């Protein structure tokens, strides 16, 4: 049973941001400090990636573990209306996959940074995450992920 009334729940859910989240802001500050310049949420690219590095033909997607159904300690399926949430998260994951395929077809390199690498019990030092992102942007990895320490090694990638 939900402890909040529907009005309270609606109010809470309306306050959840899709941009300028805390993990995204931390990453942006660190990458800017490292000398990398980027565009935010480029509308002409599939899925409007969070950070776009046109000079390096690279994008960084900062994904929340709950909203994108990541297999980590931060994701827990809600007990209320589970069929709705399963459908919602499956739709988000399908859309993520379509956007990544479209970005790859347009020859963009894609780094996915999961929220759990900067928050929660499996978080990594922020300096390590920034260093991994910088290495990806300046390197030649085609597709990579940065996840929490308990999930996998910090940077898993495929080269082209």
Structural domain range at position 24 = 19-159
Q: How many domains does the chain have?
A: 1
- Residue-level pLDDT at 20: 74
The predicted-structure confidence for 31-74, as pLDDT tens digits, reads as follows 999 999 999 999 999 999 999 999 999 999 999 999 999 999 88
Q: Is the residue at 8 inside a domain?
A: no
CATH number, domain of 29, equals 3.40.960.10
Contacts 24+ apart (CB under 8 A), 100-105: 100/47, 100/143, 102/46, 102/47, 103/45, 103/46, 103/47, 103/49, 103/59, 104/142, 104/143
Exposure on the CB side of residue 75, measured as CA atoms within 13 A: 20
Q: Is residue 125 part of a domain?
A: yes
Q: Is residue 14 part of a domain?
A: no
The owner of tokens 């390590």 is: 128
Task: Please indicate, yes or no, if residue 11 is contained in any of the structural domains.
Answer: no
Residue 113 lies in a domain: yes
Q: Is residue 2 domain-resident?
A: no
Residues facing residue 145 across a β-bridge:
112, 156
Q: Rounded mean pLDDT of the chain?
A: 89
Global pTM reads 0.86
Q: What is the tens place of the pLDDT at every residue in 12-40? A: 767 676 677 889 999 999 999 999 999 99
Residue 155 pLDDT level (bands cut at 50, 70, 90): low
In a domain, 7, yes or no: no
Q: Is residue 128 part of a domain?
A: yes
User: DSSP assignment of 39-50, as one string?
Assistant: EES-TTSTT--S
How would residue 81 be classed by pLDDT, with cut points 50, 70 and 90?
confident
């Amino acid at each position: 049973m939900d402890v909040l009334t529907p009005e309270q729940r609606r109010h809470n859910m309306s306050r959840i941001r899709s941009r300028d989240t805390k993990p995204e802001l931390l990453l942006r500050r660190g990458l800017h400090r490292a000398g990398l310049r980027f565009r935010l949420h480029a509308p002409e690219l599939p899925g409007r990636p969070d950070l776009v590095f046109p000079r390096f033909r690279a994008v960084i997607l900062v994904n929340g573990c709950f909203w994108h159904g990541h297999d980590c300690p931060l994701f827990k399926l809600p007990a209320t209306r589970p069929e709705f949430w399963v459908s919602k998260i499956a739709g988000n994951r399908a859309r993520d996959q379509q956007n990544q395929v479209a970005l790859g077809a347009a020859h963009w390199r894609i780094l996915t940074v999961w929220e759990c690498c900067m928050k929660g019990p499996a978080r990594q030092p922020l300096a390590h995450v920034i260093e991994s992102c910088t290495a990806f942007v300046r390197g030649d990895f085609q597709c990579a992920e940065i996840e929490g320490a308990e999930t996998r090694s910090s940077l898993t990638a495929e080269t082209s």
